[in-house]
Amino acid sequence: MPVNAETTGPLREKSNIASTNEKQSSLFGPLDDDPPSEMDRAVDSIWKPCWIDYPAATAGLEKLRSIYRHPRTSRPPCLLIVGLPNSGKTSLVKEFEREVTPARSDDDELDWAPVMYVQAPPTADASALYLSILRRIEAPEECTGRITKLQDQTLKLLEKLRTRVLIVDELAYMLSGTTPQRNIYSNVIRHLSNELEISIVGVGTKKLLRTFQTDQQSGSRFEPLFLPRWKMGQDYFAFIVQICLRAGLKPDGEFTDKAFIERIFRMSEGLTGETWKLMCLVIEHAVRSGKETVSPDMLKKVDWVAPSERRKMQGE
Protein backbone atom coordinates (compact mmCIF):
# COMPACT_ATOMS: atom_id res chain seq x y z
CA MET A 1 0.00 0.00 0.00
CA PRO A 2 1.43 3.44 -0.86
CA VAL A 3 2.89 5.32 2.11
CA ASN A 4 5.56 7.93 2.60
CA ALA A 5 9.15 6.74 2.80
CA GLU A 6 10.73 10.05 3.69
CA THR A 7 11.08 11.61 7.11
CA THR A 8 9.90 15.08 7.92
CA GLY A 9 12.16 17.72 9.40
CA PRO A 10 11.47 21.02 11.17
CA LEU A 11 8.40 22.60 9.66
CA ARG A 12 6.96 26.05 9.34
CA GLU A 13 3.97 27.39 7.49
CA LYS A 14 3.90 30.41 5.24
CA SER A 15 1.99 33.39 6.50
CA ASN A 16 -1.44 33.44 4.88
CA ILE A 17 -1.10 37.21 4.43
CA ALA A 18 1.11 38.05 1.44
CA SER A 19 2.53 41.45 0.75
CA THR A 20 1.46 43.18 -2.46
CA ASN A 21 4.90 42.50 -3.94
CA GLU A 22 4.81 38.76 -3.21
CA LYS A 23 3.47 36.20 -5.67
CA GLN A 24 0.22 34.69 -4.50
CA SER A 25 -0.01 30.90 -4.18
CA SER A 26 -2.89 28.99 -5.67
CA LEU A 27 -5.66 27.83 -3.36
CA PHE A 28 -4.54 24.28 -4.14
CA GLY A 29 -0.82 24.82 -3.54
CA PRO A 30 2.07 26.84 -4.98
CA LEU A 31 1.90 28.14 -8.51
CA ASP A 32 4.31 26.63 -11.05
CA ASP A 33 6.80 29.47 -10.64
CA ASP A 34 6.33 29.69 -6.87
CA PRO A 35 8.73 27.33 -5.03
CA PRO A 36 6.95 25.01 -2.57
CA SER A 37 7.31 25.78 1.10
CA GLU A 38 8.85 23.36 3.56
CA MET A 39 5.32 22.51 4.68
CA ASP A 40 4.21 21.85 1.09
CA ARG A 41 7.10 19.43 0.62
CA ALA A 42 6.40 17.68 3.91
CA VAL A 43 2.71 17.16 3.08
CA ASP A 44 3.55 15.93 -0.42
CA SER A 45 5.98 13.50 1.16
CA ILE A 46 3.26 12.01 3.38
CA TRP A 47 1.16 11.04 0.37
CA LYS A 48 4.08 9.87 -1.78
CA PRO A 49 3.45 6.27 -2.93
CA CYS A 50 5.60 3.59 -1.34
CA TRP A 51 5.14 -0.10 -0.67
CA ILE A 52 4.51 -1.60 2.78
CA ASP A 53 4.46 -5.37 2.94
CA TYR A 54 1.84 -7.27 4.93
CA PRO A 55 0.77 -10.95 5.04
CA ALA A 56 -1.95 -10.88 2.34
CA ALA A 57 0.32 -8.86 0.05
CA THR A 58 3.24 -11.24 0.65
CA ALA A 59 1.06 -14.19 -0.38
CA GLY A 60 -0.22 -12.27 -3.41
CA LEU A 61 3.27 -11.32 -4.59
CA GLU A 62 4.46 -14.90 -4.24
CA LYS A 63 1.52 -16.11 -6.35
CA LEU A 64 2.35 -13.54 -9.04
CA ARG A 65 6.01 -14.56 -8.96
CA SER A 66 5.08 -18.21 -9.43
CA ILE A 67 3.02 -17.31 -12.51
CA TYR A 68 5.93 -15.30 -13.88
CA ARG A 69 8.34 -18.20 -13.34
CA HIS A 70 5.99 -20.74 -14.95
CA PRO A 71 7.45 -22.34 -18.11
CA ARG A 72 5.93 -21.21 -21.39
CA THR A 73 3.02 -23.38 -22.45
CA SER A 74 0.14 -23.25 -24.92
CA ARG A 75 -2.28 -22.76 -22.01
CA PRO A 76 -0.41 -20.60 -19.45
CA PRO A 77 -1.88 -20.09 -15.97
CA CYS A 78 -3.93 -16.94 -15.49
CA LEU A 79 -5.08 -15.14 -12.36
CA LEU A 80 -8.05 -13.04 -11.30
CA ILE A 81 -7.31 -10.81 -8.29
CA VAL A 82 -10.58 -10.09 -6.53
CA GLY A 83 -11.48 -7.73 -3.70
CA LEU A 84 -13.59 -4.84 -2.55
CA PRO A 85 -12.74 -1.31 -3.71
CA ASN A 86 -9.64 0.00 -1.92
CA SER A 87 -8.54 -3.42 -0.74
CA GLY A 88 -5.03 -3.02 -2.16
CA LYS A 89 -5.45 -4.80 -5.52
CA THR A 90 -3.89 -2.13 -7.74
CA SER A 91 -1.02 -1.48 -5.32
CA LEU A 92 -0.24 -5.19 -5.30
CA VAL A 93 0.01 -5.59 -9.09
CA LYS A 94 1.93 -2.33 -9.53
CA GLU A 95 4.45 -3.44 -6.91
CA PHE A 96 4.85 -6.70 -8.82
CA GLU A 97 5.42 -4.78 -12.06
CA ARG A 98 8.05 -2.56 -10.34
CA GLU A 99 9.74 -5.64 -8.90
CA VAL A 100 10.16 -7.38 -12.25
CA THR A 101 10.26 -4.72 -14.97
CA PRO A 102 13.54 -2.74 -15.14
CA ALA A 103 13.32 0.94 -14.30
CA ARG A 104 14.11 3.34 -17.13
CA SER A 105 14.35 7.07 -17.67
CA ASP A 106 11.94 9.02 -19.87
CA ASP A 107 14.61 9.13 -22.57
CA ASP A 108 15.18 5.36 -22.66
CA GLU A 109 13.44 3.38 -25.36
CA LEU A 110 11.14 0.62 -24.12
CA ASP A 111 12.80 -2.57 -25.36
CA TRP A 112 11.90 -5.11 -22.66
CA ALA A 113 8.73 -5.36 -20.59
CA PRO A 114 8.48 -8.77 -18.89
CA VAL A 115 5.45 -7.55 -16.92
CA MET A 116 3.06 -5.07 -18.52
CA TYR A 117 0.37 -3.22 -16.52
CA VAL A 118 -2.57 -1.64 -18.35
CA GLN A 119 -5.91 -0.28 -17.24
CA ALA A 120 -8.93 -1.61 -19.09
CA PRO A 121 -10.93 0.89 -21.13
CA PRO A 122 -14.21 2.07 -19.55
CA THR A 123 -16.32 0.10 -22.04
CA ALA A 124 -16.57 -3.51 -23.16
CA ASP A 125 -14.86 -2.63 -26.43
CA ALA A 126 -12.18 -5.04 -27.65
CA SER A 127 -10.66 -2.42 -29.97
CA ALA A 128 -10.32 -0.02 -27.04
CA LEU A 129 -8.56 -2.73 -25.05
CA TYR A 130 -6.00 -3.20 -27.83
CA LEU A 131 -5.52 0.58 -27.99
CA SER A 132 -4.96 0.75 -24.22
CA ILE A 133 -2.19 -1.82 -24.55
CA LEU A 134 -0.65 -0.08 -27.55
CA ARG A 135 -0.61 3.28 -25.75
CA ARG A 136 0.95 1.69 -22.68
CA ILE A 137 3.80 0.24 -24.73
CA GLU A 138 4.27 3.56 -26.51
CA ALA A 139 3.32 2.26 -29.94
CA PRO A 140 3.62 4.64 -32.90
CA GLU A 141 0.69 6.95 -33.54
CA GLU A 142 -0.14 5.08 -36.74
CA CYS A 143 -1.34 2.12 -34.65
CA THR A 144 -4.98 2.51 -35.57
CA GLY A 145 -7.48 0.77 -37.80
CA ARG A 146 -9.77 -2.21 -37.78
CA ILE A 147 -9.76 -4.64 -34.87
CA THR A 148 -7.79 -7.23 -36.85
CA LYS A 149 -5.04 -4.69 -37.50
CA LEU A 150 -4.98 -3.61 -33.85
CA GLN A 151 -4.78 -7.25 -32.82
CA ASP A 152 -1.83 -7.87 -35.15
CA GLN A 153 0.01 -4.76 -33.93
CA THR A 154 -0.54 -5.70 -30.28
CA LEU A 155 0.67 -9.27 -30.73
CA LYS A 156 3.80 -8.20 -32.62
CA LEU A 157 4.80 -5.52 -30.12
CA LEU A 158 4.20 -7.63 -26.99
CA GLU A 159 6.23 -10.42 -28.56
CA LYS A 160 9.02 -7.96 -29.37
CA LEU A 161 9.02 -6.74 -25.75
CA ARG A 162 9.22 -10.36 -24.50
CA THR A 163 6.25 -9.83 -22.20
CA ARG A 164 5.48 -12.80 -19.96
CA VAL A 165 2.65 -11.39 -17.80
CA LEU A 166 -0.01 -8.89 -18.90
CA ILE A 167 -1.96 -7.26 -16.04
CA VAL A 168 -5.36 -5.77 -16.90
CA ASP A 169 -6.70 -3.60 -14.07
CA GLU A 170 -10.35 -2.51 -13.73
CA LEU A 171 -11.41 -5.49 -15.80
CA ALA A 172 -14.92 -5.14 -14.35
CA TYR A 173 -15.51 -2.40 -16.95
CA MET A 174 -16.26 -5.22 -19.38
CA LEU A 175 -19.47 -5.91 -17.42
CA SER A 176 -20.95 -2.68 -18.81
CA GLY A 177 -21.32 -4.26 -22.24
CA THR A 178 -23.94 -6.51 -23.77
CA THR A 179 -23.55 -10.29 -23.61
CA PRO A 180 -22.07 -10.46 -27.16
CA GLN A 181 -19.62 -7.64 -26.32
CA ARG A 182 -18.54 -9.37 -23.12
CA ASN A 183 -18.03 -12.63 -25.00
CA ILE A 184 -15.83 -10.95 -27.61
CA TYR A 185 -13.86 -9.20 -24.86
CA SER A 186 -13.26 -12.50 -23.03
CA ASN A 187 -12.23 -14.16 -26.28
CA VAL A 188 -9.70 -11.38 -26.95
CA ILE A 189 -8.12 -11.85 -23.53
CA ARG A 190 -7.87 -15.62 -23.95
CA HIS A 191 -6.48 -15.20 -27.46
CA LEU A 192 -3.72 -12.88 -26.22
CA SER A 193 -2.77 -15.47 -23.62
CA ASN A 194 -2.85 -18.43 -26.03
CA GLU A 195 -1.18 -16.76 -29.00
CA LEU A 196 1.71 -15.24 -27.02
CA GLU A 197 1.85 -17.98 -24.38
CA ILE A 198 1.69 -15.35 -21.63
CA SER A 199 -0.23 -15.21 -18.37
CA ILE A 200 -3.04 -12.69 -18.00
CA VAL A 201 -3.75 -11.21 -14.57
CA GLY A 202 -7.18 -9.60 -14.32
CA VAL A 203 -8.05 -7.27 -11.45
CA GLY A 204 -11.64 -6.69 -10.38
CA THR A 205 -14.56 -7.44 -8.09
CA LYS A 206 -16.54 -10.49 -7.01
CA LYS A 207 -19.12 -9.64 -9.67
CA LEU A 208 -16.41 -10.01 -12.29
CA LEU A 209 -15.40 -13.36 -10.78
CA ARG A 210 -19.00 -14.63 -11.02
CA THR A 211 -19.07 -13.61 -14.69
CA PHE A 212 -15.83 -15.48 -15.41
CA GLN A 213 -17.02 -18.57 -13.56
CA THR A 214 -20.19 -18.78 -15.65
CA ASP A 215 -17.98 -19.11 -18.74
CA GLN A 216 -16.48 -22.59 -18.76
CA GLN A 217 -13.32 -21.66 -20.66
CA SER A 218 -12.51 -18.52 -18.65
CA GLY A 219 -13.50 -20.12 -15.37
CA SER A 220 -11.07 -22.99 -15.87
CA ARG A 221 -8.20 -20.71 -16.91
CA PHE A 222 -8.41 -17.91 -14.32
CA GLU A 223 -7.61 -18.90 -10.77
CA PRO A 224 -9.09 -16.47 -8.22
CA LEU A 225 -6.89 -14.73 -5.66
CA PHE A 226 -8.85 -12.93 -2.95
CA LEU A 227 -7.60 -9.85 -1.11
CA PRO A 228 -9.72 -9.87 2.04
CA ARG A 229 -10.49 -7.21 4.60
CA TRP A 230 -8.13 -7.02 7.52
CA LYS A 231 -8.89 -8.78 10.78
CA MET A 232 -8.20 -7.02 14.07
CA GLY A 233 -4.92 -8.24 15.44
CA GLN A 234 -1.15 -7.82 15.63
CA ASP A 235 -0.67 -7.74 11.84
CA TYR A 236 -3.08 -4.83 11.47
CA PHE A 237 -1.40 -2.95 14.33
CA ALA A 238 2.03 -3.54 12.71
CA PHE A 239 0.75 -2.21 9.38
CA ILE A 240 -0.46 1.03 11.00
CA VAL A 241 2.81 1.46 12.88
CA GLN A 242 4.77 1.06 9.63
CA ILE A 243 2.72 3.82 7.98
CA CYS A 244 3.63 6.16 10.84
CA LEU A 245 7.30 5.22 10.94
CA ARG A 246 7.77 5.64 7.20
CA ALA A 247 6.34 9.13 7.53
CA GLY A 248 8.99 9.92 10.13
CA LEU A 249 6.51 10.06 13.03
CA LYS A 250 6.31 7.84 16.07
CA PRO A 251 3.12 6.59 17.73
CA ASP A 252 2.79 7.92 21.27
CA GLY A 253 2.23 5.74 24.32
CA GLU A 254 -1.55 5.69 23.89
CA PHE A 255 -1.17 4.36 20.36
CA THR A 256 -0.84 0.79 21.63
CA ASP A 257 -4.27 1.02 23.25
CA LYS A 258 -6.50 -1.66 21.70
CA ALA A 259 -9.52 0.65 21.68
CA PHE A 260 -7.62 3.14 19.50
CA ILE A 261 -6.63 0.49 16.93
CA GLU A 262 -10.19 -0.83 16.91
CA ARG A 263 -11.45 2.68 16.17
CA ILE A 264 -9.12 2.96 13.15
CA PHE A 265 -10.35 -0.47 12.06
CA ARG A 266 -14.02 0.58 12.29
CA MET A 267 -13.46 3.89 10.53
CA SER A 268 -11.57 2.24 7.65
CA GLU A 269 -13.84 -0.83 7.66
CA GLY A 270 -10.75 -3.02 7.60
CA LEU A 271 -9.75 -2.06 4.04
CA THR A 272 -6.07 -1.59 3.24
CA GLY A 273 -6.45 1.52 1.10
CA GLU A 274 -8.89 3.16 3.49
CA THR A 275 -6.56 2.49 6.43
CA TRP A 276 -3.70 4.10 4.55
CA LYS A 277 -5.76 7.18 3.60
CA LEU A 278 -7.07 7.63 7.13
CA MET A 279 -3.61 7.36 8.65
CA CYS A 280 -2.14 9.77 6.08
CA LEU A 281 -4.81 12.31 7.05
CA VAL A 282 -3.91 11.84 10.71
CA ILE A 283 -0.19 12.16 9.95
CA GLU A 284 -0.80 15.29 7.87
CA HIS A 285 -2.71 16.82 10.80
CA ALA A 286 0.19 15.99 13.10
CA VAL A 287 2.76 17.55 10.74
CA ARG A 288 0.71 20.71 10.20
CA SER A 289 0.36 20.98 13.98
CA GLY A 290 4.11 20.69 14.49
CA LYS A 291 3.81 17.33 16.27
CA GLU A 292 6.38 14.55 16.09
CA THR A 293 4.04 11.82 17.30
CA VAL A 294 0.61 10.46 16.34
CA SER A 295 -1.96 10.28 19.12
CA PRO A 296 -5.54 8.92 19.39
CA ASP A 297 -7.12 12.38 19.77
CA MET A 298 -6.07 13.24 16.20
CA LEU A 299 -8.68 10.83 14.80
CA LYS A 300 -11.35 13.28 15.94
CA LYS A 301 -9.75 16.15 14.04
CA VAL A 302 -9.67 14.73 10.50
CA ASP A 303 -12.49 14.98 7.98
CA TRP A 304 -13.55 11.38 7.41
CA VAL A 305 -16.60 9.53 6.10
CA ALA A 306 -16.65 5.73 6.29
CA PRO A 307 -16.49 3.90 2.93
CA SER A 308 -19.96 2.40 3.28
CA GLU A 309 -21.44 5.83 4.03
CA ARG A 310 -19.73 7.26 0.95
CA ARG A 311 -21.28 4.56 -1.20
CA LYS A 312 -24.71 5.36 0.22
CA MET A 313 -24.25 9.03 -0.62
CA GLN A 314 -23.27 8.02 -4.16
CA GLY A 315 -26.40 5.92 -4.46
CA GLU A 316 -24.60 2.59 -4.62
The ranges of the chain annotated as CATH 1.10.8 are: 231-304
* Element housing 213 (H / E): helix 206-214
pLDDT tens digits, 126-145: 999 999 999 998 887 655 66
pLDDT tens digits, 218-231: 778 899 999 999 99
Whether residue 36 has pLDDT greater than 50 = yes
Whether residue 30 has pLDDT greater than 90 = no
Whether residue 109 has pLDDT greater than 80 = yes
Q: Determine the pLDDT at residue 19.
A: 36
User: What is each CA distance from 141 to 84, 134, 135, 144, 153, in whole angstroms?
Assistant: 36, 9, 9, 7, 12
Q: Are 218 and 190 in contact (CB under 8 A)?
A: yes
Q: What is the mean pLDDT of the chain?
A: 86
Which fold would CATH assign to domain 231-304?
A: Helicase, Ruva Protein; domain 3 (1.10.8)
**Which pLDDT band holds residue 33 (cuts at 50, 70, 90)?**
low
Q: Determine the pLDDT at residue 316.
A: 55
Whether residue 248 has pLDDT greater than 50 = yes
Q: How far apart are CA 95 and CA 82, in angstroms?
A: 16
Q: Are 251 and 293 in contact (CB under 8 A)?
A: yes
**Which pLDDT band holds residue 102 (cuts at 50, 70, 90)?**
confident
Q: Determine the pLDDT at residue 106.
A: 72
The ranges of the chain annotated as CATH 3.40.50.300 are: 55-226
pLDDT tens digits, 192-203: 999 999 999 999
Q: Determine the pLDDT at residue 255.
A: 72
pLDDT tens digits, 142-158: 556 689 999 999 999 99
Q: Which residue has the higher pLDDT, 293 or 114?
A: 114
Q: How far apart are CA 74 and CA 215, in angstroms?
A: 20
Measure the N-to-C terminal CA separation of the chain; round to a whole number of Å: 25
Residue 246: name the closest of 86, 90, 49, 88 by CA.
49
Q: Which residue has the higher pLDDT, 277 or 10?
A: 277
Q: In one letter, which amino acid is 118?
A: V
Whether residue 57 has pLDDT greater than 80 = yes
> Of 3.40.50.850, 3.90.79.10, 3.40.50.300, 3.30.980.10, which CATH number belongs to 55-226?
3.40.50.300
